[in-house]
Amino acid sequence: MDWHDALDLAIPHPPPTSAEPAALVAAGKKAVRRRRAVAAGGTALLVAAVIGLGSTYAPWRDRAAPPPPIATQSEAGEALGSYPTQPPLSDASPLRYDFDTNEVTLHDGWEEAGRIERKEIRRLLGHDYSQLFLAATNGEKTVYANFMNPTEIAYADAAGTNGKSLGEWAEDVAAHHVEPRWSVGGSIRVGDGWTITREIDNPLGYDLPWDSEAAVAEREGMEVWILFTGNRPKGGGSGEGYGVAYAAPGQTIEGYIAHRDKEIDRDLAASTGGYSASMSEAVEFGDGSELVPAEDGVEILEQVADPDLGEKFADGASRSAAARITVNGKEQVAIAREKDGLTLVYTVEVADGPRSEDRDTRSLEDVLAMVKARETDPETGGGLFP
């Protein structure tokens, strides 16, 4: 059997994309600048370098189906505290580790029963896998903990590990990832060896086409909490995202969900909104910059000439206009520009928020402001109107 040919046939090709490498160059320059700033003692955060590139690089954006909504990235919002991964010492949570001082603190009556430090971790699991694996016991119960970093700490009741030593547990943790999967309307699935012990349907109270799903998954005495959110609009462009956290002793998944709910709401509040844009023949220019219906079922509710969508949109345009229209009763915004004898028309549809009470009707001005924000973004540069 020719495995190369068989695999080549089986491995799907990504949908075509017209994403411009220029945006990647811009992001690369930014990353290099930030790296230099950090190297020079600056405090710039490297992690932000790739934020905002999603729509430019998403290879699904240019599928033949209606393009997915384009969300505007959130701005820096109000900082929420990190989810507490190290609760106060108790018999349920008998050990803490200070990542700054490398100091281990144990609850009264507990003593250290094993430790694997970075050198050994590196040998077992690879470079920089985590800071410390630790076992603590009170004579009756033994707890294992994996301190990866201040926000990633795994705990397990040693009694639930099928007799594994701390070292064996460490290797097991590294080898078995929870790898959750979910689609809107379905159930959460997890990787081999993991078991869903509890599933919570739509814990965030989202309304269609949005949905949420949470689950507690367990493997060998260790629990993780999973929270998915996603949407599946009728016009296409579905998507899911998720967060996973190790269950912290004494904490509940409800607490984790409430924390994530606040984070998500904060991000949404700081966002300028999401929309989908697809090429359209619903309207065309009549006299001057006036738009007129070009298809049956199209009605123009209001329109403006020469909308302000930034210099790139206006540069060289012989005429342009935007209109709030209905297409077979469904409201959309049409944007048209004529340049060099070529007319481009897009219809824009604002993405629904996750909760129906947040789905305010957007005015023509609101939608144009969202489009302008994207089209004039210096990092991603929009791209609807070249």
Partner 1 sequence: MSAHDEAFSGFVAARRPHLVRTAYALCGDWHRADDLVQTALLKLYAAWRRVESGSEEAYVRTILVRAHIDQARRPWWKRERFGDLPERPAPAEQVEERSELFDALQALPEMQRKVVVLRHWLQLSVAETARELRISEGTVKSHSSRGLAALRTCLESGDAFRA
Q: Is residue 203 within the footprint of partner 1 (CB under 8 A)? A: no
Nearer to partner 1, 244 or 317 (CB): 244
Nearer to partner 1, 228 or 285 (CB): 228
| Three-class SS of 179-213 | CCECCCCCCCECCCCCEEEEEEECCCCCCCCEEEE
Q: Is residue 237 within the footprint of partner 1 (CB under 8 A)? A: yes
For partner 1, the binding residues in 132-171 under the rule CB under 8 A are 148, 152, 154
Nearer to partner 1, 85 or 289 (CB): 85
Q: Is the dihedral of CA 336, 339, 343, 345 positive or negative?
A: negative
Query: Given its phi and psi angles, is residue 54 left (phi above 0), alpha (psi -120 to 50 degrees) or beta?
Result: alpha
Q: Is residue 1 within the footprint of partner 1 (CB under 8 A)? A: yes
Q: Is residue 32 within the footprint of partner 1 (CB under 8 A)? A: yes
Q: Is the dihedral of CA 154, 174, 203, 264 positive or negative?
A: positive
Please enumerate in sequence order all residues whose Cβ is within 8 A of that of 327, keeping only pairs 6 or more positions apart, or say none.
282, 295, 297, 298, 347
| DSSP structure string for 262-299 | HHHHHHHHHS--EEEEEE--SEEE-STT-EEE-STTEE
Q: Is residue 264 within the footprint of partner 1 (CB under 8 A)? A: yes
For partner 1, the binding residues in 346-375 under the rule CB under 8 A are 351
How many residues bind partner 1 (CB under 8 A)? The answer is 79
> What are 145's strand-pairing partners?
134, 155
**Nearest Cα residue to 136 out of 168, 101, 104:** 104
Nearer to partner 1, 4 or 123 (CB): 4
Least CB distance to partner 1 at residue 274 (A): 5
For partner 1, the binding residues in 101-130 under the rule CB under 8 A are 125-126, 129
Q: Is residue 379 within the footprint of partner 1 (CB under 8 A)? A: no
Task: From 46-54, 115-123, 294-302, 308-316, give the range in contact with partner 1 by CB under 8 A.
Answer: 46-54
Nearer to partner 1, 259 or 283 (CB): 259
249 touches 233 (CB < 8 A): no
For partner 1, the binding residues in 266-325 under the rule CB under 8 A are 267-268, 271, 274, 276
Least CB distance to partner 1 at residue 317 (A): 25
User: For the CA atoms of the chain, what is the radius of gyration?
Assistant: 26
Using CA atoms, how far apart are residues 56 and 14, in angstroms rounded to an integer? 15
Using CA atoms, how far apart are residues 177 and 303, in angstroms rounded to an integer? 53
Least CB distance to partner 1 at residue 264 (A): 5
Nearer to partner 1, 9 or 342 (CB): 9
Nearer to partner 1, 110 or 246 (CB): 246
